[in-house]
Amino acid sequence: MSTPLIELKNVTKSFGVMDVLHGITLKVNKGEVLCLLGDNGAGKSTLIKTLSGVYKPTSGSFSIDGERVSFASPREAQDKGIATVYQFGGTFPLMSIGRCFFIGNEPTKSFGPFRVYDRKRANQIAVKAVQDFGITRIDDGDRLVGGMSGGERQSLAIARAVYFGARVLILDEPTAALGVKQASHVLRIVLEAKKRGLAVIFITHQVTHAMAVGDQFAVLIRGGLAANFSKGEKTREEITDLMAGGQTLANLDIDLEE
């Protein structure tokens, strides 16, 4: 088997005396979705913040393409192709879709002796990128992000990450606040990202969502890796049981038409 895109070995993270993560060993391959499951406070967010450069691991190693890395800032992680999308897409509700899409990487054009923001081009590219992910409803780059639905915002953020060359997509509970329809939208986009060869780390509390897209599953319990298995190795009931206090989602059916 080829080198995993991302590999964690024995990663530990403590805040002062509190060990939030201990001995996490995980890997994710290209074109694969890893579902990170676990109860509230299990350390999922902390783990992905460690991956995305927000925190530094207290000990253990972290490699990309077999090469050890250490990030001083989220920006460095991004430069290495690790994109993180937080629950609300990390987006800015009162900004236009185009501006939001290019935040920090604004396209410019010359205007006399000055370089100015190229709104038209930004809008065009942003709208096209979002539409390529199947959200054809978005056709006006001047629309404010806050006016989009939760699923559309997530999609915008994912499309954005992919456009800027992300290789690893980290999604922290992208479906948590969404209705069934919206959530299936996001799940479809996760599959699209996977199809494009990205490695996806997907955090969720919903076993159904996890089972719909996951290739690999990792269950965190109180900061430790309680289980790590592949698709089809465990049943929904077993997974639900693994997640301490797993909710009764068993009957929730989502329509996922690929």
Partner 1 sequence: MNTTQNIPAKHLDELPNARFDLGLLIRRPEVGAFIGLAFVFGFFAFFGNANFVLPIGAASYLNVAANLGIVALPVGLLMIAGELDISIGAMIPAGAMTVAIVSGHYGAPIVVGIGASLLLGFVIGLINGILTIRTGVPSLIVTLGTLFAVQGLVLGVSVALTGSTSVPLSAPDWIKTVFGSYVANSFQVTIFWWLAFVVMCFFVLHMSRYGNWIFAMGGDRESARNVGIPTERLTVALFATSSMSASFVGMCQTILYSSAQVSGGMSYIFNSIVTVVVGGVLLTGGFGSVVGIFFGTLTFAVVSQGIYFTQFDANWASLIIGVLLLLAVLTNNTFRKMALSYSPKKGRTS
Ligand X SMILES: Nc1ncnc2c1ncn2[C@@H]1O[C@H](COP(=O)(O)OP(=O)(O)OP(=O)(O)O)[C@@H](O)[C@H]1O
Q: What one-character-per-residue DSSP string does 29-73 give?
A: -TT-EEEEEE-TTSSHHHHHHHHTTSS--SEEEEEETTEE---SS
Contact flag: residue 99 with partner 1 (CB under 8 A): yes
Contact flag: residue 53 with ligand X (CB under 6 A): no
Nearest distance from C-beta of residue 42 to ligand X, angstroms: 4
Identity of the residue, 45 or 52, whose beta carbon is nearer to Mg ion in the bound complex: 45
CB 85 within 8 A of CB 150: no
Query: Which of 10, 41, 59, 109 lies at the binding interface for ligand X (CB under 6 A)?
Result: 41
Contact flag: residue 229 with partner 1 (CB under 8 A): no
Closest CA to 206 of 249, 255, 154: 249
Contact flag: residue 245 with ligand X (CB under 6 A): no
Calculate helix-pair angle for 119-132, 150-163, nearest 10 degrees: 110
Contact flag: residue 45 with ligand X (CB under 6 A): yes
Query: Which of 45, 46, 87, 91 lies at the binding interface for partner 1 (CB under 8 A)?
Result: 91
C-alpha 82/C-alpha 162 separation (Å) is: 10
Contact flag: residue 20 with ligand X (CB under 6 A): yes
**11-43 burial: b if 16+ Cβ within 10 Å, else e:** bbbeeeeebbbbebebbbbbebbbbbbbbeebb
Span from 23-31, 42-50, 79-87, 235-243 in contact with ligand X (CB under 6 A):
42-50
Report the site for partner 1 in 119-178 (rule: CB under 8 A).
136-137, 139-140, 142-144, 146-147
C-alpha 146/C-alpha 173 separation (Å) is: 19
Nearest distance from C-beta of residue 102 to ligand X, angstroms: 29
Span from 29-37, 99-107, 170-178, 239-247 in contact with partner 1 (CB under 8 A):
99-107
CB 53 within 8 A of CB 73: yes
Report the site for partner 1 in 46-65 (rule: CB under 8 A).
54
Strands (E), 144-258: 168-172, 199-203, 216-221, 224-230
Nearest distance from C-beta of residue 44 to Mg ion, angstroms: 5
**Amino acid code (one letter) for 248:** T
Residue 153: helix, strand or coil by DSSP? helix
Query: Which of 1, 2, 17, 40 lies at the binding interface for ligand X (CB under 6 A)?
Result: 40
C-alpha 61/C-alpha 8 separation (Å) is: 6
Point out which residues bind partner 1 (CB under 8 A): 54, 74-75, 78, 84, 86, 90-96, 99, 102-104, 106, 108, 111, 114-117, 136-137, 139-140, 142-144, 146-147, 181, 184-185, 255, 257
What does the binding site for ligand X look like in residue numbers (CB under 6 A)? 15, 18, 20, 38, 40-46
